[in-house]
Structure 1
Amino acid sequence: MSLWTAAALRQATGGSLGSALPVSGVSIDTRTLAPGDLFVALRDVRDGHDFVAEALARGAAAAMVDRDLPGLAPDAPLLRVADTLEGLRALGAAGRARCAGRIAAVTGSVGKTGTKEMLRLLLGSLGPTHAAVASYNNHWGVPLTLARMPAGTAFAVIEIGMNNPGEILPLSRLARPHVSAVTAIGEAHIGHMGGLEAVAEEKGSIAAGLEPGGVAVLPRDSAFFDRLAALARAAGAARVIGFGEHPAAEVRLAEAGILRDGRTRALVALGGGRVEVIMPAMGLHHAANACCALAVVQALGLDARRVAPALAAYAPGAGRGAPREIAVPGGTALLIDESYNAAPPAMRAALRTLALRPGGRRIAVLGDMRELGEFSAALHAGLAPEAGKADLVFCCGPEMARLYALLPPARRGAHAADSAALAPIVREALRPDDVVLVKGALGSRMALVVRALTELPT
């Protein structure tokens, strides 16, 4: 199917392009490029212009460039623009402009990707739904997601993230959602922001991109709910919907728990009734995300209770909490792989979930959290109450050493300088029926521990 014609590419970007086949996709990475894609030569860790020849050889229909590239054929299908990042933004804006569907945008300190994937299922049960294939939520990820959006999309879910002040507003204005959602306010990236108040202000700016008559979905349990609601109303939101456990939440999480088989159960009150959701994912944060997702569906004017059964198919992505059995000497243990990332609220939620899990010993394997700045020492030490509920705790990294020192001696497994050193220690300690949580920031490389545990010989 054609996503963009040559004429549409020229019109959207203001660039020049000779003859080119219709584009069926948009790519910024030759490793995942499919034949028929438009390859956009962005400058990031590497300059994408260095890979244009490879992209064309792999079957790219055209390549967006902003400088001359020697060695290419004179008739190479090049979309020439003044700046490739601006060209991608322009293409994303054009993708949004031609879409007559309903758009939801999601941000938050934690839970963005999980809520996005839940919305993909919920809205996908009603019509053609578009969302990013991964956590493409930054200055190039949002325009890339919009540029990839088919013209006939009925619903789209745009994830919007930030690391620094001022990043969310321009992305929300690019997405122009009909509903904006904030999943939670927490200490993620607090080292760049200076405090939780600044985090709330930044997350709340997502409402400034709302279309006229738009709705803001906000965490009613947050201490910053009133401020977020004021920001949304000042931005022109026609309505604010609160979700969560708070008695005043319009979409209320009435019950949440972990079943013996590891699935998460949520009972959500909305629209004058209640709906039960059971998901093949372990974690109370999944119940909170489901509550948010159902609130977004309701904010879009749809029947959230009717589509809620679609969440039975929800499963978190790699490194985001999916439980699986692993072989250990003499039997099996249950691994909860949370190695993809770890902001403080997500770390606390994962430890609370571990404490609720029935089974044998509950073991936490924790790596440093990142981007916490001057708050890092206190936030790592502050995990002690939740971490102390585990039967055994293993830690790695200089920041997690602070937590390790606060644990009762009987709870201490081991501390190591890094995940590579910790992995074999954890592997040797496991017994049948253990439940093992592995969590840390992506930069802590906790996936090395996961790999060591999953490759354990039977």
Structure 2
Amino acid sequence: MTLWTADEAARATGGEARGNWSVTGVSIDTRTIAPGDLFVALSAARDGHDFVAQALEKGAGAALVSRVPEGVAPDAPLLIVPDVLRGLEALGRAARARMNGKVVGVTGSVGKTSTKEMLRVVLGGQRRVHCAEASYNNHWGVPLTLARMPRETEIAVIEIGMNHPGEIAPLSRLARPHVGMITTVGTAHLEAFDNIEGIAREKASIFAGLMPDGWAVINGDLDTTPILRSAAKEAGARVLTFGEARSNHHRLMSVQIVDDTTVAEARIWRASALFKVGAAGRHYALNALGVLAVVQALGLDRAMACADLARWVPPAGRGMRERLLLDPLDEAMSFELIDDAFNANPVSMAASLEVIAAARPRDNLGRHKHGRRVAVLGEMLELGPEELQMHAGLADLPAIDKLDVVHCVGERMKVLYEALPAEKRGRFALKAKDLVKAAGRLADAGDVVLVKGSKGSKVSEVVDALRKLGHPAPDS
């Protein structure tokens, strides 16, 4: 199905279209480009113009460029604009303008991507949904998501992130959401802000682009909730709160974690509700409650939404659980891996440790008589001047008492390693690759192993090494 014709794209961007082409998708990466895509020659670590010829050879329908690249014929299918990123933004703006459906914008210090994926599943059960891929939530990810949006989209879910002040508002104005959701406000990216109140004000700027009579769905349990609520009111939004406090419109009443499933009871707009999600953790139940608040704001069926929540499972790197067989002939000889290696800050670290603390290892299977709860913890980055205190403070979390072994990765994690009781200290490594070499001694049959850290800590390398120890179980 045609996404953009040459004439449409030229009108949207004010650029010069060479050739009478049409495209069915938009791509920024020649490694994953599909035939018929519009290749966008963004400049980051490398100049995207260097890859235009390759993209066209792979079947790209056209390329968005600011000049005719070397090795590309003058009559090649191109859309020439003064600035490629501005051109991509213009495409996104035009796609948003021609779309007659509703837009949901999601931000927060923790849980943006998981919540966005919950919304994809839940809203997709009732409407034609377009959603951001992966964590495409920055200055190029948001316009790319919009530029890829089909005309017939009924609901678009746009994830909006930030690293520094002033990033969210322009992206919100580009997306123009009907519903703006803030999952939570925590200490992620604190090094770029004076305090957590500054982070809250930046998150609340998602309401800057809210459509008239739009909805603000906010976590009502935070110390910074008044900041979020004030920003929503200033934007003219109707406010829906979710959380555990009695004052919330959507209130979590009880949570029960059973293996890799969370069952929750809630009060939703004065009605009782029971739902479950395919991941263990109170934080997942809370995010799911926020999703149900979005469903309420959009006027969709809440009963169907509660049922559809059960179909969601976390993606790789964000709490995905799998069972790995160490002996393909004996399914009992296995361990459970919790892959949460994509992001970390004190809030999400505490939530993940609570998950493994509730996990149930199996005894009398491996080298150790008792199955163990094992945590491999990588550094938490971008936390500012109090980062070492935040790392050391993890030792005081109640969940730590339930763990058998804690391995630590990175210079910042050394303070946690030293704060741990001696009997819980596993290995300390400055680099994840140093721990990879010991992967065979990190996990044993019957164990539950959590790998958690900021993406920059590269503990995902430990996840890969642990996966190579065995084979996925049939039920994983």
TM-score, with structure 1 as normaliser: 0.97
1:219 aligns with 2:219: yes
Give the whole-Å Cα distance in 1 for the aligned partners of 2:262 and 2:277: 5
Secondary structure of the 2:16 match is coil
- Matches of residues 24-423 of structure 1 in structure 2 within 5 Å? 24-237=24-237, 239-260=238-259, 262-328=260-326, 331-359=333-361, 360-386=371-397, 387-423=400-436
Q: What is the total number of aligned residue pairs between the two structures?
A: 456
Does the CA-based 8 Å contact 1:370-1:441 persist in structure 2?
yes
CA distance in 2, matches of 1:102, 1:429: 47
The one-character-per-residue Cα deviations of 1:200-238 (angstroms, maximum 9, x if unpaired) are: 01001101110000010000111111111001111221x
Q: CA RMSD in A?
A: 1.4
Quote how far apart the aligned CAs of 1:320 are: 1.0
Q: Deviations over 1:65-102 (max 9, x none)?
A: 11232322221011000100000000000000001101
Deviation at 1:193, TM superposition (A): 1.6
324-333 or 251-260: bigger deviation: 324-333
Change (3 A) 1:408 1:426: farther
Distance 2:91 2:470 in 1: 50
- Contact 1:394–1:426 (CA under 8 A) maintained in structure 2: no
Deviation string for 1:146-179 (max 9, x for gaps)?
0000111100100000000000000000000000
- 1:131 positional shift: 0.4
Q: Which amino acid aligns with 1:179?
A: V
184-193 or 303-312, which deviates more: 303-312
Residues 71 and 423 of structure 1, relative CA distance in 2, 3 Å threshold: closer
Post-superposition, which runs of at least 4 consecutive aligned residues in structure 1 deviate over 4 A? none
Displacement, 1:457?
5.2
Which amino acid in 1 is paired with 2:190? Answer: I
Would you say the 8 A contact 1:427–1:456 is kept in 2? Answer: yes
Aligned-pair identity (%): 51
- After TM superposition, give the deviation of residue 275 of structure 1 in Å: 2.2
Q: 1:371 deviation in Å?
A: 1.1
Q: Secondary structure at the match of 1:313?
A: coil
- CA deviation after TM superposition for structure 1 residue 181, in Å: 0.5
Aligned residues of 2:178 and 2:210 also touching (Cα < 8 A): yes
2:313 aligned counterpart, secondary structure: coil
Query: Residue 303 of structure 1: CA displacement?
Result: 2.5
Structure 2 CA distance, aligned partners of 1:181 and 1:167? 16
Provide the rounded CA distance (Å) in 2 between the counterparts of 1:104 and 1:28. Answer: 24
C-alpha distance in structure 2 between counterparts of 1:440 and 1:427, whole Å: 20
DSSP 3-state at the match of 2:172: helix
Post-superposition shift, 1:32?
1.0
Post-superposition shift, 1:426?
4.9
Amino acid at match of 2:325: A
> How many Å apart are 1:429 and its aligned residue?
4.1
Paired with 2:310 and 2:346, the residues of 1 have a C-alpha distance of 28
Cα distance between partner residues in 1 of 2:122 and 2:272: 16
2: CA distance, partners of 1:78 / 1:457: 48
Could you tell me how far 1:188 is from its partner in structure 2? 0.7
Quote the residue 2:365 is aligned against: none
Q: Which blocks of at least 5 consecutive residues in structure 1 are unaligned?
A: none
Deviation at 1:139, TM superposition (A): 0.2
- Alignment partners' CA distance in 2, 1:430 and 1:220: 39
> Separation in 1 of the partners of 2:16 and 2:470?
57
The answer as to whether partners of 1:63 and 1:78 remain within 8 angstroms in 2 is yes
**Mapped contact 1:327–1:454 kept (Cα < 8 A):** no
Query: CA–CA distance in 1 between the matches of 2:416 and 2:401?
Result: 10
Which range moves more in the overlay, 365-374 or 97-106? 365-374
Verify the 8 A CA contact 2:372 2:446 in the aligned structure 1: yes
Per-residue CA deviations over 1:397-448 (Å, capped at 9, x if unaligned) read 1111000101111111121111111234353143321111111111111112
Q: Deviations over 1:179-204 (max 9, x none)?
A: 00000000111111221111001001
Give the stretch that moved more between structures: 248-257 or 209-218. Answer: 248-257
> Are 2:434 and 1:435 equivalent residues in the alignment?
no
**Aligned partner of residue 221 in structure 1, secondary structure:** coil
d(CA) in 2 for partners of 1:244, 1:271: 12
Distance 1:73 1:432 in 2: 59
Deviations 1:371-414 (A, max 9, x none): 11212111101111223431211111111100010111111112
Opposite residue 200 of structure 2, the aligned amino acid is: A
The amino acid across from 1:315 in the alignment is V
Match of 2:366 in 1: none
- Partner AA of 1:414 in structure 2: R
The Cα shift of 1:328 comes to: 4.4
Give the counterpart letter for 2:279 in structure 1: A
Tell me, yes or no, if the aligned pair for 1:419 and 1:445 is still in contact at 8 Å: yes
Query: Are the aligned partners of 2:68 and 2:74 in contact in 1 as well (CA < 8 Å)?
Result: no
**Partner AA of 1:144 in structure 2:** L
Amino acid at match of 2:338: I
Greater CA drift, 288-297 or 417-426: 417-426
